[in-house]
Amino acid sequence: MPNKNSAKKALRQSEKRAKQNLVVKNAYKDAVKTAKKAIEAGTHSAEDIKAAQKKLAKAAKKGVIKKNTAARKLSRLAKFAKKVTTK
């Protein structure tokens, strides 16, 4: 446990930010999972991928994940969608 007031405040801030980051992280993961399930089921639409793109971009903007990580995840999702639909 921190002893100094500044260290106590830093701990509170860190815990608060971690909770906020977790919310954003879970949101983009859920969006990607939903899009993947819709693609596998054959019921996907452009909105599913667009929603995942929006969540990934927001997570990257907030610094939860890096910009290239978001781009990579979106690219893989689009590649998966194209692969499944062309079969």
Residues 19-69: tens digit of each pLDDT:
999 999 999 999 999 999 999 998 878 899 999 999 999 999 999 999 999
pLDDT score for 9: 97
Place of tokens 């971690």: 18
Residue 37: domain span:
5-86
Span 14-23, average pLDDT: 97
Span 3-32, average pLDDT: 97
Residues 76-87: tens digit of each pLDDT:
999 999 998 887
Count: domains in the chain: 1
- Looking up residue 24, the CATH number of its domain turns out to be 1.20.58.110
- Give the per-residue SS3 of the chain: CCCCHHHHHHHHHHHHHHHHHHHHHHHHHHHHHHHHHHHHHCCCCHHHHHHHHHHHHHHHHHCCCCHHHHHHHHHHHHHHHHHHHHC
Q: How many CA atoms lie within 13 A of 67 on its CB side?
A: 1
pLDDT score for 42: 85
